[in-house]
Structure 1
Amino acid sequence: MEVKVNANITKELPIKKSRKKFFGSEAFYGYIFVSPMVLGFFVVMFIPFFYSVYMSLTDWKLLGDPNFIGSENYQRLVHDPDFWEVMKNTLLFSGGLVPINIVIALLLALLLQRNLPGIGFFRTAIFIPVMTSIVVWSIIWKYMFGTEEGFINQILGAFGIDGPAWLYDPDLAMGAVIVVSALKNVGLNMVLFLAALQQVDKNLYEASYLDGANKLKQFWHVTLPMITPTVFLTLILTVIGSMKVFGQIYVMTGGGPGNHTKVLVYYIWENAFKLFDFGYASAIAIVLFSIILFFTLIQWGVRKRWVFHEQ
């Protein structure tokens, strides 16, 4: 009988010791400090997401109770011509914004990476729009694109050129919004590229110079491969940001002229807070989430083919 008791005690001792060791360890305190953020993320992100999925399966006009209708909202999307036009506008916006933003940010980073007198002022000036409110930024550019009194048309008028109605022309409105959006956030990607360029080993440039490489070849074969992880990061962030554009559209064009600048997030807002069709708006939001997830997974899947440190 005593042997059995001793055996049980010897079995329980490691468990008790391991528990005491965990509760006094750095890992335990780490979980304590991280738990508020994890709990907040769960409350702010996961619960609303799953509730949005439920709402997308209902017919909820806000003033009444939600009625479960299954997949009818998604079937309605397939036959909604406005949805497909909005989808096309969103892809057009992303396809124009992403390359413009990344190319300009990289060029600015290459120009401003040198420690020249006054270079800090130019870096700050380019980054200031990132900290500026999107509403303020959009209002300023809306007046700059004004038809008669706009600053841009006044400059064109000084050269004898009649400026167009930028934000009222179906062929120009989307381009104007893309330019405004690219200039707004180009400073963030520029800072990321600056940090990446400063981490490139200078010995690689010296070796390539001894091999006869000029500046252009050094950029293509040394600089660009070494900063591909940052290019990958900025590409993902810019694509996700471009798919969620709203403020510029709301302030500058209101989705017009017609539906030529109406994008998915604006369409969600319109159905939810103008038409009070929360069920249909939730279905559009789930589709937008799926599109962003799809593009992100594609970029993540092909990263090993061109990101240097993934090879």
Structure 2
Amino acid sequence: MTLRQRTADRLVGYLFITPQLVGSAIFVILPLCLVLWYSLHEWNVLADSFEYVGGENYQALLDDPSLPAVLRATGLFSAGLVVFNLSLALLLAVLLNQKLRGLTVYRTLFFSPVVVSLVAWTIVWGFLLQSNGGINGLLDAVGVEGPNWLRNGASSMVSVVAVQVFKNVGLNMVLFLAALQGVPHELHEAAQLDGASAWTRFRRVTIPMISPTILLTSIITVVGSLQVFAQIAVLTQGGPGTSTTVLVYYLYQQAFQFHHFGYGSTLAILLFVIVLALTLVQWQLRKRWVFHES
């Protein structure tokens, strides 16, 4: 291949990736730079003021008395969502990977919430979880008095996590199902001939073989759990108190309700750092448990 041909090939490659590079620069890199710039200023839209304050917003972040409760709520929501979403998705995938009648119907049923509008899904669940809603109506039918799920500190976080789990569990279920169908049957047959039980085969054969998919779904679910907003805004508005005020909703309150755009930008930087750190940790730990990564 001549130098001219190699240059032409490189040019064609650059042309193919140019739209992606331009889109990333405009919609990812530029907004990140602007958020960092805004975090160094006190920007009050109502007062039409934009004043450079240096690191004052970051100092305010360290001194914010509400931030520990917000981070605690964020951690509880993320941990609950990741554990229950991945566990339920894997369980459903294993069940739907069997030779059962009506598998197509079941797969469609469990995946259908993924394509439903998030706001519509949340509003419906909001009505169901009210003190006189459908959930308590079913409990009353069997003689159990249900709480006001969204206004009780003990149940509000559980309710929000459950709504989100049921909304997105179908996506991870499909990913796990595809991974399970790619596990060679010969490995299970060999383990069975060696006397391995069903649980041992699942733990020693299936889990290692689908570990790359587990890594993918865990990263997607963790990042998604840290970006939740609509569910909180519709169901609880961060209450009762600050029990369900996660970081994204707190950012929204500071920036768009209290008009502290500089401090809101600082919270956005904090969110970015948390997401980046958790993603890097998961990526580094993959070498210890993901198949073919050691």
Length-normalised TM-score, structure 2 = 0.97
What's the counterpart of residue 226 of structure 1? 209
Q: Deviations over 1:274-302 (max 9, x none)?
A: 11111000000000110111111111111
CA RMSD of aligned residues (A): 1.3
Residue 112 of structure 1 pairs with residue 87 of structure 2: no
Q: Deviations over 1:202-257 (max 9, x none)?
A: 10001001000111111011001111111111111111111111110000001111
Q: Deviations over 1:34-81 (max 9, x none)?
A: 211210111000001001001001000124242111110011011111
Residue 203 of structure 1 pairs with residue 186 of structure 2: yes
Q: CA deviation at 1:115?
A: 4.3
* Structure 2 residues not aligned, in runs of 5+: none
Residue identity in the other structure for 2:269 = I
Once residues 274 and 58 of structure 1 are traced to their aligned partners in structure 2, the CA distance between those partners, rounded to angstroms, is 18
1:17-166 equivalences under 5 Å are 18=3, 20-25=4-9, 27-63=10-46, 64-148=48-132, 150-166=133-149
Once residues 22 and 211 of structure 1 are traced to their aligned partners in structure 2, the CA distance between those partners, rounded to angstroms, is 55
Q: Deviations over 1:176-208 (max 9, x none)?
A: 000111111100100110111011111000100
Q: CA deviation at 1:21?
A: 1.5
Once residues 220 and 8 of structure 2 are traced to their aligned partners in structure 1, the CA distance between those partners, rounded to angstroms, is 39
Q: Which has the larger radius of gyration?
A: 1
Residue 171 of structure 1 pairs with residue 154 of structure 2: yes
The counterpart of 2:175, out of the listed 188, 192, 211, is 192
- Give the ranges of 4+ consecutive aligned residues of structure 1 lying more than 4 Å apart after TM superposition: none
Equivalent residue pairs, number = 293
What's the counterpart of residue 5 of structure 1? none
Once residues 55 and 36 of structure 1 are traced to their aligned partners in structure 2, the CA distance between those partners, rounded to angstroms, is 27
Length-normalised TM-score, structure 1 = 0.92
Residue identity in the other structure for 1:144 = L
Q: Deviations over 1:85-110 (max 9, x none)?
A: 11110001011110100000000000
